[in-house]
């Protein structure tokens, strides 16, 4: 018979075994690639072992960054994390952590952020990629879309937090990335600003609102935010340079709103039933 | 005002949905389990459609058998009785009255007889009728246990009160085509013969008139000399679509589709169908073809072959013709070969 090798073994059988062998090697390769970040794992502090699982980490790969930036290695020794204002609920292994300070401002849980470079992302020309439209003057809002500029921004409590004063656009892939909100309208005092950059004073200040966390009304262009209350706009991290945003600042701004999804109201931390 | 697009969209959407989603059936449906649980061999039946089909496939009223069997035989009294000569005159008359109701209720006796000369051979319809008597007797006697028993077949099974049965077929010449191009004999949408698939649209000629091999699957896992082509497989699929459509049943009525060719996994209905294929071939070749010289052109297809029998001719969308209505017991004269019918069978092979 065609394809028979012995009375039992045939070509289809061998082809299937060959595929399985290839598939096993593919899975192992993909698992190694999956360990270019986050490894070795953290484990009990007293166990002095390197936890990498199987297969082991891949060889280091170097990413050559454009515009004179440092190369990035993967996997690499990650920079030291910022100190987290949280402590374990109890001493058991796997216990959740509980925020010890103001969870909205301490970067814990959904408000946590990563250590990222303090440089803006670049276009291929080497310009800052995400900039306000007052800088990227060749951008305009599509005439069929509502223009939120000059329109009110409301927090999850329905209170007015401020007004949109500008749109931050992506010069590489044209689209709105952030809304710039002037928070001059609210009077929430900031009680404790010690050690927290950019929140030294209440009053007129401009913060960024990620477009993915804003709901722009198609009727009148007003903006609603569900992740934080109006008063929380007082503490949104601000930028070192008002005309550009660094990768680190992007992460911190977004994480602040992310923190609100769990900490903005007391009920959000509680179970449903 | 910016309200306009908001109003237009749902209206257009509803219109599109109405236009494009027209072929829907409302739940619930009836299901019939045909295989072991979990195997997925199930028939799905629309109860409304089934009720309509049952109403359309009602058996006719039957003239009761009050005529006694005594007295002289029809063959002795009448001049030209070649098949039903053993009947008493009363029974013979009853059969004649029944066949009139079954085949030509409007034209009456004159459909097959010439004026007052009942013995005359002149009308072609009488000669054809005699062949049809022979065919009916042959089907009931010799194909009975294989396919048609216990319900049997009568004239009404195909004719349903019409001189030309509604579901007959002739070789399909295909649509028009340019002179330099050959027909593909497939890839035509909208051919009812293959249930509107684009499969080869005339699987009846090779399989129900001629006897091309329907089997395509190999008996062995490894290639071992099975030269059957994909094309042949498509022709078989086309034929199976005709079977399925004729009985209004899906493939799992006969098959376990994980192994079409495996008889062990098939239902007993497949065995009935196997015999039916041979029976229909015989009907077309030994009986209907022998009437071809007598038939007028209006009883022939575009290629000159007489209108023939396929599954739908008798079944007409029911898994058993007239949903298994029992008729033949009332007509013993149609269930056994008599007179020249015996010879016709021998000549037909």
Mean of the pLDDT values across residues A240-254? 96
Pairwise CA distance, residues B307 & B242, whole Å: 17
Tens of pLDDT, residue by residue over B240-284, are 999 999 999 999 999 999 999 999 999 999 999 999 999 999 999
Tens of pLDDT, residue by residue over A194-245, are 444 444 444 468 999 999 999 999 888 999 999 999 999 999 999 999 999 9
Q: Is pLDDT above 50 for A187?
A: no
In words, the CATH class of domain A109-268 is alpha beta
Tens of pLDDT, residue by residue over B324-344, are 999 999 999 999 999 999 888
Contact criterion met (CB below 8 Å) for A58 and A40? no
Pairing of the two strands A86-88 and A97-99: antiparallel
Give me A268's structure tokens.
């959000």
Q: Which residues in chain A (10-39) have CB-CB distances under 8 A to chain B?
A: 10
Cα→Cα distances A215→A145, A152, A154, A166, B211, Å: 13, 12, 10, 16, 71
What are the contacts of B96-103 at 24+ separation with CB within 8 A? B97/B63, B98/B62, B98/B63, B98/B154, B98/B155, B98/B331, B99/B129, B99/B155, B101/B60, B101/B63, B101/B161, B102/B60, B102/B154, B102/B155, B102/B156, B102/B159, B102/B160, B102/B161, B103/B129, B103/B155, B103/B159, B103/B161, B103/B162, B103/B163
Contact criterion met (CB below 8 Å) for A55 and A28? yes
Residue of B nearest to A218 (CA): B2
Q: Check CB contact of A1 with chain B, cutoff 8 Å.
A: yes
Tens of pLDDT, residue by residue over B92-103, are 999 999 999 999
For residue A219, the chain B residues in CB contact (below 8 A) are 2
Mean of the pLDDT values across residues B124-131? 96
Tens of pLDDT, residue by residue over A6-40, are 889 999 999 999 999 999 999 999 999 999 999 99
Mean of the pLDDT values across residues B74-87? 93
Contact criterion met (CB below 8 Å) for A65 and A47? no
Element (H, E) at B97: helix B89-103
For residue B222, the chain A residues in CB contact (below 8 A) are 1-4, 10
Q: Residue A240: how many CB atoms within 10 A of its CB?
A: 12
Q: Is pLDDT above 50 for A190?
A: no
Residue of A nearest to B224 (CA): A1
- pLDDT-based confidence at residue B202 (cuts at 50, 70, 90): very high
- Quote the pLDDT of residue B68: 75
Q: How many residues does chain B have?
A: 349
Q: For residue A82, how far is the Cα from the chain centroid?
A: 16
Q: Is pLDDT above 50 for A188?
A: no
Exposure on the CB side of residue B195, measured as CA atoms within 13 A: 17
For residue B112, give the 3-state DSSP assignment.
coil
Q: Is pLDDT above 90 for A159?
A: yes
Q: Is pLDDT above 90 for A189?
A: no
Q: How far is A1 from chain B (nearest CA, A)?
A: 5
Pairwise CA distance, residues B86 & B137, whole Å: 14
Q: Residue B214: how many CB atoms within 10 A of its CB?
A: 15
Cβ–Cβ of B222/A219 closer than 8 Å?
Answer: no
Pairwise CA distance, residues B9 & B5, whole Å: 6
Q: For residue B126, how far is the Cα from the chain centroid?
A: 23
Closest CA to B75 of B347, B348, B340: B340
Which CATH number, 3.20.20.10, 3.30.230.10, 3.30.420.40, 1.10.468.10, labels domain B60-162+328-348? 1.10.468.10
Q: Is B251 annotated as a binding residue?
A: yes
Mean of the pLDDT values across residues A127-134? 96
For residue B224, the chain A residues in CB contact (below 8 A) are 1-2
A3, A6, A147: best to mutate for the B interface, most B CBs within 10 A: A3
Cβ–Cβ of B2/A219 closer than 8 Å?
Answer: yes
Give me A130's structure tokens.
């995400």
Q: Is pLDDT above 80 for B6?
A: no
Q: Is pLDDT above 50 for A101?
A: yes
**In chain B, ranges of CATH 1.10.468.10 domains:** 60-162+328-348, 167-171+187-217+228-315
Tens of pLDDT, residue by residue over A41-96, are 988 767 778 899 999 999 999 999 999 888 999 999 888 888 888 999 988 888 99
- Quote the pLDDT of residue B15: 81
Cβ–Cβ of B222/A4 closer than 8 Å?
Answer: yes
Contact criterion met (CB below 8 Å) for B348 and B283? no
Cβ–Cβ of A1/B2 closer than 8 Å?
Answer: no
Q: Is B96 annotated as a binding residue?
A: yes
- Quote the pLDDT of residue A196: 42
Contact criterion met (CB below 8 Å) for B334 and B94? no
- Bridge partners, A180 (sequence order): A166, A208
Contact criterion met (CB below 8 Å) for A134 and A203? no
Give me B242's structure tokens.
């005709």
- Bridge partners, A225 (sequence order): A214
Closest CA to B335 of B150, B175, B197, B201: B150
Pairwise CA distance, residues A111 & A223, whole Å: 22
- pLDDT-based confidence at residue B4 (cuts at 50, 70, 90): low
Q: What is the ipTM of this complex?
A: 0.77
Q: How far is B12 from chain A (nearest CA, A)?
A: 21
- Quote the pLDDT of residue B137: 97
- Quote the pLDDT of residue B348: 63
Mean of the pLDDT values across residues A83-111? 90
Q: Tell whether omega for the bond before A75 is within 30 degrees of 0, i.e. cis.
A: yes
Q: Is B177 annotated as a binding residue?
A: no
- pLDDT-based confidence at residue B23 (cuts at 50, 70, 90): confident
Contact criterion met (CB below 8 Å) for B2 and B16? no
Q: Which residue has the higher pLDDT, A203 or B79?
A: B79
Q: Mean of the per-residue pLDDT values for chain A?
A: 90
Contact criterion met (CB below 8 Å) for A166 and A149? yes
Tens of pLDDT, residue by residue over B293-314, are 999 999 999 999 999 999 999 9
Q: Residue B272: how many CB atoms within 10 A of its CB?
A: 16
- pLDDT-based confidence at residue A174 (cuts at 50, 70, 90): very high
Q: Is pLDDT above 90 for B9?
A: no
Q: How far is B260 from chain A (nearest CA, A)?
A: 22
Q: Is B311 annotated as a binding residue?
A: yes
Tens of pLDDT, residue by residue over B139-182, are 999 999 999 989 999 999 999 999 999 999 999 998 888 999 98
* Domain B167-171+187-217+228-315 is found in CATH 3.40.50.300: no
Pairing of the two strands A223-225 and A152-154: parallel
Q: How far is B207 from chain A (nearest CA, A)?
A: 30
Q: Is pLDDT above 80 for B218?
A: yes
Contact criterion met (CB below 8 Å) for B172 and B201? yes
Contact criterion met (CB below 8 Å) for B167 and B310? yes
Q: Mean of the per-residue pLDDT values for chain B?
A: 92
Q: Check CB contact of A3 with chain B, cutoff 8 Å.
A: yes
Pairwise CA distance, residues B19 & B14, whole Å: 9
């Amino acid at each position: 018979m065609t394809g028979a090798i012995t009375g039992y073994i045939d070509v289809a059988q061998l082809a299937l075994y060959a595929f399985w062998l290839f598939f096993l090697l593919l899975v192992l390769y993909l698992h190694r690639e999956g360990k270019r970040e986050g490894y070795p794992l953290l484990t009990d502090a007293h166990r002095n072992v390197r936890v990498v699982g199987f297969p082991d980490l891949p060889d280091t790969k170097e990413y050559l960054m454009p515009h004179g930036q440092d190369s990035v290695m993967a996997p690499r020794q990650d920079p030291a994390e910022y100190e987290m204002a949280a402590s374990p609920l109890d001493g058991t292994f796997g216990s959740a952590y509980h925020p010890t300070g103001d969870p909205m401002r301490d970067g814990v849980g959904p408000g946590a952020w990563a250590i990222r470079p303090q440089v803006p992302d670049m276009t291929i020309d080497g310009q800052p990629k995400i900039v306000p439209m007052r800088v990227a003057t060749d951008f305009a809002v599509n005439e069929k879309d509502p223009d939120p500029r000059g329109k009110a921004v409301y927090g999850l409590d329905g209170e007015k937090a401020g007004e949109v004063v500008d749109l931050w656009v992506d010069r590489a892939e044209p689209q709105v990335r952030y809304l710039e909100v002037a928070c001059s309208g609210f009077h929430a005092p900031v009680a404790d600003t010690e050690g927290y950059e950019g929140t030294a004073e209440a009053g007129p200040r401009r913060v960024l609102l990620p477009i993915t966390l804003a709901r722009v009304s198609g009727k009148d262009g007003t903006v609603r935010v569900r992740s934080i209350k109006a008063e929380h706009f007082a503490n949104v991290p601000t930028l070192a340079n008002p005309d550009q945003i660094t990768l680190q600042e992007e992460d911190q701004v977004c994480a602040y709103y992310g923190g609100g999804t769990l900490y903005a109201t007391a009920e959000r931390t509680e179970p449903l039933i | 005002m910016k309200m306009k697009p908001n109003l237009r969209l749902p209206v257009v959407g509803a219109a599109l949905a109405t236009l494009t989603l027209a072929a829907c059936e409302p739940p619930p449906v009836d299901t019939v389990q045909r295989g072991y649980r979990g195997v997925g061999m199930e028939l799905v039946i629309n109860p409304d459609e089934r009720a309509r089909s049952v109403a359309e496939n009602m058996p006719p009223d039957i003239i009761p058998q009050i005529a006694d069997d005594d007295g002289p035989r029809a063959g002795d009294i009448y001049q030209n009785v070649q098949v039903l000569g053993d009947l008493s005159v009363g029974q013979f008359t009853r059969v004649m009255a029944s066949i009139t109701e079954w085949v030509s209720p409007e034209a009456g006796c004159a459909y097959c007889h010439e004026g007052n000369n009942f013995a005359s051979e002149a009308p072609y319809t009488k000669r054809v009728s005699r062949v049809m008597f022979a065919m009916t007797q042959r089907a009931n006697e010799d194909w009975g246990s294989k396919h048609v028993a216990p319900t049997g077949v009568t004239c009404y099974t195909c004719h349903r009160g019409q001189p030309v049965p509604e579901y007959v077929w002739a070789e399909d010449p295909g649509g028009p085509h340019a002179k330099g191009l050959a027909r593909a004999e497939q890839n035509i949408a909208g051919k009812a013969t293959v249930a509107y698939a684009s499969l080869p649209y005339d699987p009846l000629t090779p399989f129900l008139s001629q006897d091309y091999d329907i089997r395509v699957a190999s008996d062995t896992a490894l290639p071992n000399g099975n030269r059957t082509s994909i094309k042949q497989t498509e022709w078989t699929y086309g034929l199976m679509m005709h079977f399925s459509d004729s009985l209004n049943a899906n493939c799992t009525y006969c098959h376990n589709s994980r192994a079409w060719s495996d008889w062990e996994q098939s239902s007993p209905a497949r065995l009935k169908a196997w015999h039916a294929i041979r029976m229909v071939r015989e009907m077309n070749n030994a009986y209907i073809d022998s009437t071809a010289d007598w038939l007028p052109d209006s009883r022939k297809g575009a290629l000159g072959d007489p209108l023939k029998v396929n599954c739908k001719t008798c079944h007409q969308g029911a898994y058993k013709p007239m949903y298994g209505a029992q008729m033949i017991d009332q007509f013993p004269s149609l269930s056994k070969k008599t007179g020249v019918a015996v010879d016709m069978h021998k000549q037909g092979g």
